[in-house]
Structure formats: C-alpha cells, structure tokens
C-alpha cells in the first residue's frame, strides 16, 4: 500500500510538471508530439489531435516531447522557430506548475488542520527518547508554564533560562489535561546536536480552525509555506553543490528509495495528511532542482534561451543536444550513486 501511494504521488508531481510544459507549448503554438507518463517502453498510447498520449512501463518520470526541440523542425509549430520569450515560458512552465501545486497542497492542508496562531504559552511538540525530558516523564502536548518559578510565555525565554542553569536541575511547572504538576528535569551542558539541553522540541504556535468564509487565509498560509520551503531547499542545494566541488559525498540527498522510505515512515507515524504535505515539499524540491543551470534540466535549457535573447542568434543545435545528453548521463550517474547510498544505509539499519 505504501509503495502504491508513493508511486501515485510521485506520478502526480511529474504529471503536473510535464503539464506545465504542455500548457505553455500549446499556448505558444508548439506541436507536442508525445506526452508520456513514466518512461518507455509503452504500455498503451492514444493519439488525440497531433499529440500521442502514452502510459509507460517505468513508473518514475515523464516527458513532453516537443516538435523541433531535439531536432531542426520546420514551420510555425516547431519549438526551434519560436521567439526566445515563447521558448522561455515553455521551458519554465514545469517549474511554475510544481510551485503552484505545492501552494495548493499546503493551502489544502491548512484549510483542514487550521492556520498557525501565536500564543503566550509554550507547548512541547516532541520529546527525544532517552533524553532528560523523557526520563523526567515529560510528554508531547504538555504546556510549560514556568521554570524555577519564572513564568514562560515564549520559546526564547525558556531557551535563555536553560542556558543560565546548564549542569543543574530545573523545576518545571507543566499543564497536562488541565492539571498542573511540578517536574524536575536535568539541563545538560553539552547535549547531542539538534536535541537541546533538555531534549524537547517546543513552540508557542497553535493551529486555529479556519472558517469556511476565511478560506483566503488558508491559501495565504499555503503559499507562504511554499516560499519558506523554497528558501530551505535552495540553501540545501547550495550545500550539496559546495560538497561536490570539494570532492565530498553529499550527506542529505535521497533518491527514489530514500523518498519511499520517508513516505512510509511519515504515513506510519503521522498519517496520510502528513504524506500529502510531504509531497508538497517534494514538489517545491522538484521545482528548485529543475531550475538549476545544469544541462538536461530546465535551467540548463534556459541558458540556451538566454543566449539567444542576448545575441539574437540561435545556439548550435548539435552542440546543445550534445551538452544536454552529457548532462542527462551525469544526472543518471548521480541518481545511481544516491540510490546505492540509500541501499547501503538501509542495509546498515538491519
């Protein structure tokens, strides 16, 4: 079941991306020779108008084959005979559609679970296993009202106070199911990276139900989150590129196997709504990666379009095809290396 959900979700992301290329191609008068979901060989195909729509055996990926993109086409319907601006919108169409899809996914999730609202209370969102907080009996959902008799209203206040008492025990007043209780928690001097001094994740943000007539708030929250994840992913891509230039193997990359594993874990621990949200993040990731100025990616193709805009001359078609072919092989090699890393990591877990 998890595998089916993963394949369907990934297929939707790819389908939407290719629909972006298809939509702008049709709008620009470019002939679409084939629109395929999955990679060949074909399972089934049907020609509608001038376009062959196909379903293919390999369930990862998809394509939108344009007349005159990979070869010199003749006439008004050839991609190579369109203006640079028309080419630009056709090429970037997939990226725009993935960003739009991410915004729609996040908006839908917010409309269901509510929008974030800042409060004057600090809530425990998660407790790290075997941490001082776990040993003391703190639980997800507890409200921290005070530490050493000092009232806590913001996460920053709790962090500042724990910094001052590292190596000692702190007396917390927490609220759980309407009842207050005192809990003594050790404050570590050198906690493991990412765990915090006590081993809790905290926030003063609550999710507030969005009324049906305030749907615009959910849409606003959704597109704000798409922007937020865009910034996070851009930063991650910069780190990966930096690692590659320094001859280091990127540590935070995952291939199809890693994505499937993440999907399965999220579904098991958080439910299907969290899986939908996760694929919103993946959609942003797909947009960011595709806009990179690397051969075979949309960003690499845009470089050739910009060259034509600036020089008023078409790039050498054979050179463009050769560069994109090399880029595609390098991408396939990178996917292979990342997939091997995913497999090794899973084996070591056993």
Q: Cite the active site residues.
A: 18
Contacts of 187-194 with C-beta under 8 Å, sequence gap 24+, read: 187/132, 187/162, 188/132, 191/131
> Cβ neighbours of residue 249 under 8 Å, at least 6 residues apart?
243, 337, 341
Cβ distance 128 to 200 under 8 Å? yes
Cβ distance 98 to 284 under 8 Å? yes
Half-sphere exposure of 168 (CA within 13 A, CB side): 11
3-state DSSP of the chain: CHHHHHHHHHHHHHHHHHHHHHHHHHHCCCCEEEEEEEEEEEEEEEEECCEEEEEEEEEEEEEEEECCCCCCCCCCCCHHHCCHHHHHHHHHHHHHHHHHHHHHHHHHHHHHHCEEEEEEEEEEEEECCCCHHHHHCCCCCCEEEEECCEECCCHHHHHHHHHHCCCCEEEEEEEECCEEEEEEEECCCCCCCCCCCCCEEEEEEEEECCCHHHHHHHHHHHHHHHHHHHHHHHHHHHHHHHHHHCCCCCCCCCCHHHHHHHHHHHHHHHCHHHHHHHHHHHHHHHHHHHCCCCCCCHHHHHHHHHHHHHHCCCCCHHHHHHHHHHHHHHHHHHHHHHHHHHHHHHHHHC
In the structure encoding, which two tokens stand for residue 22, read together? 């298809």
């Amino acid at each position: 079941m998890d595998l089916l959900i993963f394949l369907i979700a990934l297929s939707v992301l790819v389908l939407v991306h290719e629909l972006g290329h298809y939509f702008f191609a049709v709008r620009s008068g470019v002939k679409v020779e084939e629109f395929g979901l999955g990679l060949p060989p074909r399972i089934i195909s049907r020609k509608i108008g001038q376009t062959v729509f196909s379903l293919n055996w390999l369930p990862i990926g998809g394509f939108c084959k344009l007349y005159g993109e990979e070869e010199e086409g003749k006439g008004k319907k050839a991609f190579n005979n369109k203006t640079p601006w028309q080419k630009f919108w056709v090429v970037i169409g997939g990226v725009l559609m993935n960003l739009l899809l991410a915004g729609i996914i996040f908006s839908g999730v917010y409309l269901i679970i509510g929008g974030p609202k800042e409060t004057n209370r600090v809530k425990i969102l998660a407790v790290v296993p075997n941490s001082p907080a776990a040993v003391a009996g703190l639980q997800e959902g507890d409200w921290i009202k005070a530490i050493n008799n000092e009232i806590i209203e913001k996460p920053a206040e709790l962090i500042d106070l724990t910094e001052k008492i590292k190596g000692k025990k702190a007396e917390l007043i927490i609220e759980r199911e309407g009842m207050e209780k005192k809990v003594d928690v050790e404050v570590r001097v050198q906690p493991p990276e990412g765990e915090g001094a006590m081993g809790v994740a905290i926030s003063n943000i609550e999710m507030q139900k969005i009324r049906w007539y305030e749907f615009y708030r959910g849409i606003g929250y959704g597109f704000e989150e798409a922007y937020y994840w865009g910034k996070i992913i851009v930063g991650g891509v910069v780190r990966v590129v930096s690692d590659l230039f320094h001859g280091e193997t990127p540590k935070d990359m995952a291939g199809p196997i890693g994505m499937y594993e993440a999907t399965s874990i999220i579904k098991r621990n958080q439910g299907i709504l969290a899986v939908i949200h996760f694929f919103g993040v993946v959609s942003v990731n797909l947009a960011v990666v595709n806009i990179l100025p690397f051969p075979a990616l949309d960003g690499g193709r845009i470089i050739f379009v910009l060259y034509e805009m600036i020089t008023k001359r078409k790039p050498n078609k054979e050179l463009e095809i050769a560069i994109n072919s090399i880029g595609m092989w390098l991408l396939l090699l990178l996917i292979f290396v990342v997939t091997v890393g995913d497999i090794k990591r899973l084996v070591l877990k056993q």
